Amino acid sequence: MDIIATLAEELGLRPEAVEAAVKLIDEGNTIPFIARYRKEATGGMDDIALRTLDERLAYLRNLEQRKEDVLLLIGAQGKLTPELEEQIRSATQLQRVEDLYKPFRKKRMTRAQKAREAGLEPLANMIFMQVATKGSALDAAAPFVTPEAAEAGFDTPEKALAGAADIVAETVAEDAENVADLRAFTENTADIVSVAVNPDEKTPYEPYYDFAEPAHKIPNHRVLAIDRGEREEKLRVRVRVDAEAAVARLGSRWPRRQGVFAPVLDAAIADGYKRLMAPSLEREVRARLTVRAQTDAISVFAKNVESLLSARPVRGARVIALDPGFRTGCKVAVLDEYGTLLDHGVVYPTVPRRDVAGTKRELARLTAKYGINTIVIGNGTASRETEEVVSDFIAESAPELRYTIVNEAGASVYSASELASQEYPDLDVTTRGAMSLGRRLQDPLAELVKIPPQSIGVGQYQHDLDQTELARTLGYVVEDVVNRVGVDVNTASASLLSYVSGITSAVARNIVAYREENGPFTDRRQLKKVSKLGPKAYEQCAGFLRINGGKNPLDATAVHPESYAVATAVLERAGVTEKDLARGGIPDIQQRLGSVGVLAGELDCGIMTLLDIVSELEKPGRDPRDDAPEVVFSRAALSIDDLQPGMELTGTVRNVVDFGAFVDVGVHQDGLVHISKLARRFVKHPSDVVAVGDTVKVWVERVDRDRGKISLTMVPGK
């Protein structure tokens, strides 16, 4: 297999671009580096395309290696024919290679293997070939009752014929073409059926107590729900297949069945399907559905995490962050606009103390003392009750203040982590948690990278997913977002730095240690002095690390040091200096330069690279998160009791799942916009319409106050 040609055809890319990307990956370059700084070589592939290519490259290389292994194993048995070798070499899927290898795989002693060792294979061939013979099938089997066969247990014609039939059944069941055909039949016609273990028990799985749906149509979220119900022993699940139709389909591969062996062949084919093929094919269907559902869930989770990490920072916010609680009170952390802790404490706005007046006095004191302009409230326990007090305080005493609810998923994970202990050894866990909430508003990316992505809480069934694959995928998402945004090397935490292209956790810690010992970085070249940050790591990371106010204004941009000569030449052509760049960029640089294509030729620079350089010089260090929706702030609290059908609200998308989107409309309980209510057109997946962090206009459809459920629509009148 020509892997480069295969990848190019699969992904719709030019072979030379694929070859260049593969070479760059094999040389140890990271995906963010290739996507940003090697566009000419790859034809401008972005990080998503490169990740897909990298995954397929690994799969195809594994496929080719497995082919070689299988060919050697079969060859060692002396059973490798030219036809079989061609079939294996032309296989495009690992499943096909394994199907072809199955008859030659060493296995435990089976009924068929025992019959072969007893010398009954010639009789099995007679059954297959429907050899015409005088007398009955038992008469034909009688000569095969040899002393060796009798010693193995085949001491009568009946047993010899049954042993030969076992050989036929196993041969039918292991034939690669039969398996492929019946696999497709099973996938296309099977139903997933579930019933309750205890029909009288009330569980979340009641919709699946008497459930059946075609396997090829069942949505992914139902697959995951049924899998969980089965694991929790609330459901019994099976794959229902029309066995008679399957046997008939299998039998059609031997159209001429007549003579004394016909009934034996028919029975052997049926046995081969029901005993040897059906169980494994049905397990495959379940496994394939689970993999499909998990892959989709991980993909949705990844999109949600990307949206959350890409949320717009609220710059200039001086924050009172409140982590609500009942018995232990509401933890308070006061932060300046840079996230520095100014003050902390506890207030008791809720039961059992319900010191509302004292809480308002403390909020007023902190607001006045520290020039607070924003209050942040965690959305966990006692959030609703705390929000009411904050809303009243703003209405009564501080109308210029604004507040918002922040998702606190993962805050407790961070606050109790070793990292938090290292960062703030003198603070208790609750204060660290409140600080984290405030910083999530000020700079979501910088704060959320401290938390394992799977703990952020923007997915579905995340605890049921393959945790290794989930962590790997989400790690890639964080890496891509961090490098897309860029990192201030003088303020970034080790957690944030560890996601920068080419930087390991150890090197990230060394960068922090270097600046603590030597002061802020003033030049990108100083990075070369950091322990364990070698030439390759420097090449990979330098363009993503920003130095604001350093010696060279280009260090504050995404221009890579390898392109500084070109950038300097561009500035000269534009008639400006690096000092002009330091004053906020050159907004009219493109007009000053004229044709970029001509300039690229004169400077011996690729057009895509030059366009990126010009864009950076136009607006140095531009943060792509500034294009994200603004945070929705509140000034008055609503209650679920205030909601009425038809009411128009503005909310923030908190989570996107297969069946819809959950929207925070300011009543503590998120409302669900079902997939059918997201748009007037057909929506294949909610992520095609909305993303986590989006600000959306919704209308209330139904309110179930007893169950705390809110149904919303984004299409009034639908």
Domain residue ranges in the chain? 3-104, 111-296, 319-442, 513-627, 640-713
DSSP class of residue 452 equals: -
Handedness of CA 268, 271, 275, 276 (dihedral sign): positive
Lowest-confidence range among 381-395, 452-466, 603-617, 700-714? 452-466
Check: CB of residue 672 under 8 Å from CB of residue 701: no
Rounded to an integer, the average pLDDT of 655-674 is 91
Q: Which of the given ranges, 128-137, 309-318, 376-385, 411-420, has the highest pLDDT on average? A: 309-318
pLDDT at 584: 84
**Residues of the chain above pLDDT 90, percent:** 83
Residue 423 clears pLDDT 90, i.e. is over it: no
Single-letter residue type at 541: C
Q: State residue 228 phi and psi, 5-degree precision.
A: -65, -45
Residue 287 clears pLDDT 90, i.e. is over it: yes
For domain 319-442, is the CATH number 3.30.980.20?
Answer: no
Check: CB of residue 430 under 8 Å from CB of residue 333: no
> What Cα–Cα distance (Å) separates residue 508 from each residue in 145, 177, 305, 310, 537?
76, 54, 23, 22, 11
CATH class of this structure's domain 111-296: mainly alpha
The closest alpha carbon to 346, from 376, 321, 371, belongs to: 321
Residue 405 DSSP SS3: strand
376: alpha, beta or left, given left = phi > 0 and alpha = psi -120 to 50? beta
Rounded to an integer, the average pLDDT of 636-655 is 86
pLDDT at 637: 62
CATH class of this structure's domain 513-627: mainly alpha
**Residues of the chain above pLDDT 70, percent:** 99
Radius of gyration of the chain (CA): 33
For domain 640-713, is the CATH number 1.10.10.60?
Answer: no
pLDDT band at 69 (very low <50, low <70, confident <90, very high): very high
pLDDT band at 718 (very low <50, low <70, confident <90, very high): low
CATH class of this structure's domain 3-104: mainly alpha
Residue 233 clears pLDDT 90, i.e. is over it: yes
Residue 365 clears pLDDT 90, i.e. is over it: yes
Which residues have CB under 8 Å from 476's CB, separation 6+? 31, 51, 302
**Average pLDDT of the chain to the nearest whole number:** 94
Distance separating alpha carbons of residues 265 and 263, to the nearest angstrom = 6
Residue 350 clears pLDDT 80, i.e. is over it: yes
Distance separating alpha carbons of residues 578 and 567, to the nearest angstrom = 10
Residue 311 clears pLDDT 80, i.e. is over it: yes
